[in-house]
Amino acid sequence: MVSQSRPKVLIIGGGFGGLFCARRLGNVDVEVTLLDRSAGHLFQPLLYQCATGTLSIGHISRPLREEFARHRNVTTLLGEAIDIDPAARQVAVRRPDETTYTLDYDVLVLAAGMQQSYFDNEHFAQWAPGMKTLDDALSIRQRLFTAFEIAETLPPGPERDSWLTFAVSGAGPTGVELAGQIREMATRTLANEFHSIEPEDARVLLFDGGDRVLKSFAPDLATKATNTLQKLGVELCLGVHVTDVRQDGVTVTQKNGGAQEQYAARTVLWTAGVEAVPFARRLAETLGVDADHAGRIHVDPDLSVPGRPEVFVIGDLVGRDKLPGVAENAMQGGLHVAACIRRDLEGKPRRAYRYRDLGSAAYISHGNALLQVGPLRLAGRLGWLAWGFIHIAFLTGLRNRVSTVATWLATIARASRYHRAFMLGSDGAPEQRYTWTSEDQPAQPETPPSGSGVEGREQGIRRPMTITPEDVRRLLAAGDDAQLVMVEGRTAVVTGDQLASDGYRGALEIISRKDLLARTGGTGELSDAEVSAEASALDAAVNELGG
């Protein structure tokens, strides 16, 4: 039995950092709780292979419960950390059914990672999924394969061409990998399967604001990657920013201020930026600790929060010494914090964290990858073999390793992709529609019920939506002129200036922060129950409007 007197270590996030920290604490005299909003550890570096049908979601994720089944002092829990009370040393957690519970800690390790950032253009997300979670990978898989299917049913012309045009924003490793894989899918896997269209004609456009792809790699490797991508047929559009994303395409603007250009593309994928997950921002705010523009938290040399030796931050969320957002930094951070905890128990001083750069790798195409380790640089087939070995070595779980190698070998032998299945909704499940594009049909203007706090603008809402307690918390935590709005089927908390901009034309104003404070007594200090009650009331008002 786990003794109740052991120090309680709460790790938030079972990604690379949290996993390695919990594993290392598995033989230390502490009681570890590993909390994650998903039930599995996700191997993000192979997400794009899942999105493009080479691997299944099972290959790249492993249940945390299975991973820690043999560690008697490690408990894994499903739930999303939403709030922290540093005085009581408690974290509030939301279950998937929206109910909440609290977890106590003596030591807190924040390993919650980053999410996709749309640089304050949240409405892009409806048409341009990011690439951070299993849901993202499945959404991208659905869009990619559906695009070819829809094109097959259309007569030749601009509409069909736009379904066969794929725009990827961001030419870092993820964007490069995705763009290359889409062309390979079109030219190798799908080439002989269609009758009306020629999948090989599919255009893949890769946009980036920089002057070369793969900025984190040495210039000579980036040049090799460029040549390979161009041979594959990927069209590189560098020195431009994607400044608008719509159902039917993107607008790009020259970085140096030239004219805007429109591209008709029915599939847009976003890999251009990252920002801290909401709980990390909440923690930084509550503890009064500095964070950079993307929400990375400033920490002391031992990775603890200044003035809070019991709170550590690891992985992508660390805002110190320009540490890179790579798996190796998260794993080393996890091991380092576990060592600090052990040294605390032994009464020894903590050591400063030192990151050892073990290099980076990127997949470009079949038989072509880059590897950069200190002065060693590999490209082409050698790089590809090294890339394969490294990824297999770090993939979590022996079964996943064996089945991934077997799947890769089969894919190499037959150019097939065995995991192309994707979900489509049904008429009987309104929350999961058969098409995603119907959400963009112009909605009829609606008159809001008086006194609901919901003011209609140019368009009504397009589908029943859910205002969550998290929306209410985000609004309360925002600035004085903030508004909670609904735009393109999503909620967003925006400033007055943002709301007046083109990006939010047609947004539905749900409630302003000022009105919310007025409704709830003015202090903004609401209990979980009060926040949930406000969210339900707003949700009901909005759904009434939509219904």
Ligand X SMILES: Cc1cc2nc3c(=O)[nH]c(=O)nc-3n(C[C@H](O)[C@H](O)[C@H](O)COP(=O)(O)OP(=O)(O)OC[C@H]3O[C@@H](n4cnc5c(N)ncnc54)[C@H](O)[C@@H]3O)c2cc1C
Active site members: 177
Residue type, 261: E
Q: Is 92 in the site for ligand X (CB under 6 A)?
A: no
Give min distance, CB of 251 to ligand X, in A: 25
CA angle 492, 494, 499 (to 5 degrees): 110
Which of 34, 111, 245, 507 touches ligand X (CB under 6 A)?
A: 111
Dihedral (CA of 404, 405, 408, 413) sign: negative
How far is Cα 491 from Cα 483, in angstroms, rounded to an integer?
10
Which residues, numbered 120-139, are part of the site for ligand X (CB under 6 A)?
A: 131-132
Nearer to ligand X among residue 25 and residue 461 (C-beta): 25
Which residues, numbered 155-174, are part of the site for ligand X (CB under 6 A)?
A: 173-174
Q: Is 53 in the site for ligand X (CB under 6 A)?
A: no
How far is Cα 542 from Cα 191, in angstroms, rounded to an integer?
46
How far is Cα 158 from Cα 168, in angstroms, rounded to an integer?
20
How many angstroms separate the Cα of 281 from the Cα of each of 37, 284, 289, 336? 16, 5, 10, 23
Which residues, numbered 301-360, are part of the site for ligand X (CB under 6 A)?
A: 315-316, 325-328, 330
For the chain, give the number of residues. 547
Task: Report DSSP letters for 270-339, one per residue.
Answer: E-S-EEE-HHHHHHHHHHT--B-TT-PBP--TTSEETTEEEEEE-GGGB-STT---SHHHHHHHHHHHHH
How far is Cα 262 from Cα 249, in angstroms, rounded to an integer?
7
Backbone angles phi, psi at 376, to 5 degrees: -80, 125
Which residues, numbered 397-456, are part of the site for ligand X (CB under 6 A)?
A: none
Contact 439, 489 (CB under 8 A): yes
Which residues, listed in sequence order, are joined to residue 363 by a DSSP beta bridge?
369
Nearer to ligand X among residue 37 and residue 160 (C-beta): 37
Q: Is 279 in the site for ligand X (CB under 6 A)?
A: yes
Residue type, 73: N
Which of 9, 10, 11, 13 touches ligand X (CB under 6 A)?
A: 13
Q: Which stretch binds ligand X (CB under 6 A): 37-45, 154-162, 187-195, 480-488?
A: 37-45
Give min distance, CB of 515 to ligand X, in A: 27
Q: Which stretch binds ligand X (CB under 6 A): 110-118, 162-170, 203-211, 244-252?
A: 110-118
Backbone angles phi, psi at 393, to 5 degrees: -60, -35
Which of 10, 11, 16, 396 touches ligand X (CB under 6 A)?
A: 16
Q: Which stretch binds ligand X (CB under 6 A): 111-119, 138-146, 163-171, 211-219?
A: 111-119
Give min distance, CB of 487 to ligand X, in A: 23
- For residue 403, the surrounding DSSP H or E stretch is helix 398-414
Give min distance, CB of 345 to ligand X, in A: 23
How far is Cα 168 from Cα 175, in angstroms, rounded to an integer?
6
CB atoms within 10 A of CB 186: 24
Q: Is 12 in the site for ligand X (CB under 6 A)?
A: yes
- 281, 300, 306, 278: which is closest to 291 by C-alpha? 281
Give min distance, CB of 394 to ligand X, in A: 8
Contact 224, 371 (CB under 8 A): no
Nearer to ligand X among residue 15 and residue 295 (C-beta): 15
Residue type, 168: V
Nearer to ligand X among residue 115 and residue 253 (C-beta): 115
Binding to ligand X by CB under 6 A, coded x per residue (else -) over 174-203, reads x-----------------------------
Which residues, numbered 17-36, are part of the site for ligand X (CB under 6 A)?
A: 17-18, 35-36
Which of 37, 59, 123, 419 touches ligand X (CB under 6 A)?
A: 37
How many angstroms separate the Cα of 168 from the Cα of each of 269, 373, 416? 5, 27, 23
Q: Is 38 in the site for ligand X (CB under 6 A)?
A: yes
Give min distance, CB of 330 to ligand X, in A: 3
Nearer to ligand X among residue 112 and residue 339 (C-beta): 112
Q: Is 249 in the site for ligand X (CB under 6 A)?
A: no
% helix / strand / coil in the chain, to the nearest 5?
A: 35, 25, 40
Residue nearest to ligand X (CB): 15
How far is Cα 487 from Cα 186, in angstroms, rounded to an integer?
33
Which of 9, 10, 15, 73 touches ligand X (CB under 6 A)?
A: 15
Nearer to ligand X among residue 175 and residue 199 (C-beta): 175
Q: Which stretch binds ligand X (CB under 6 A): 43-51, 152-160, 295-303, 456-464?
A: 43-51
Dihedral (CA of 486, 487, 493, 495) sign: negative
Q: Which stretch binds ligand X (CB under 6 A): 11-19, 241-249, 399-407, 481-489?
A: 11-19
Give min distance, CB of 431 to ligand X, in A: 22
Beta strands in 95-134 (DSSP E): 100-104, 107-110, 114-116
The CA-based diameter of the chain, rounded to the nearest angstrom, is 74
User: By CB under 6 A, how many residues form the interface with ligand X?
Assistant: 34
The owner of tokens 């939506």 is: 465
Q: Which stretch binds ligand X (CB under 6 A): 39-47, 191-199, 249-257, 496-504?
A: 39-47
How far is Cα 181 from Cα 53, in angstroms, rounded to an integer?
10
How far is Cα 469 from Cα 464, in angstroms, rounded to an integer?
16
Nearer to ligand X among residue 54 and residue 512 (C-beta): 54
Which of 44, 73, 368, 512 touches ligand X (CB under 6 A)?
A: 44
Q: Which stretch binds ligand X (CB under 6 A): 105-113, 162-170, 291-299, 470-478?
A: 105-113
Nearer to ligand X among residue 68 and residue 279 (C-beta): 279
Nearer to ligand X among residue 80 and residue 539 (C-beta): 80
Nearer to ligand X among residue 131 and residue 476 (C-beta): 131
Residues contributing to the site for ligand X (CB under 6 A): 12-18, 35-38, 42, 44-45, 47-48, 80-81, 111-113, 131-132, 173-174, 277, 279, 315-316, 325-328, 330
